[in-house]
Amino acid sequence: MKYVDGFVLVVPKKNLKAYTKMAAEAGQVWMEHGALEYFECVGDDLKVMPGCGLPFPKLAKTKTGETVVFSFIVYKSRAHRDKVNKKVMKDSRITTMMEKIKPMPFNPKRMSYGGFEVIVEA
């Protein structure tokens, strides 16, 4: 089964252009090292569905002028993910980008991340 790394982060709307540029560059690196798919998605319709939990802004505790970004990277398996991420983390483009971008266009301490095993694919 496929494997997915998922991210939810808060980005100030004024930094969305800088975040998008950074994410596009990072996405190229992940794809070159073998990721199957790479997505960065900005919140558009973030209202809660009736009877369904918390809306993303409440969950992420966004403030005025902030939005939620939902990102995910798809791999063949967890082992494939581990191999790809090992290569990505050694790639000088990523380390240079992290050193060069100051301040970051988002607060990494407000980011959630996890690896997910796909259990249904339609």
Domain 3-117, CATH number (from 3.80.10.10, 3.40.50.880, 3.40.50.2300, 3.30.70.100): 3.30.70.100
- Contact by Cβ (8 Å): 69, 43: yes
User: So what's the pLDDT on residue 122?
Assistant: 93
Every domain of the chain and the residues it spans = 3-117
Global confidence as pTM: 0.93
pLDDT tens profile 49-78: 888 888 999 999 999 999 999 999 999 999
Per-residue pLDDT of 89-117, as tens digits, reads: 999 999 898 888 888 999 999 999 999 99
Mean of the per-residue pLDDT values for the chain? 95
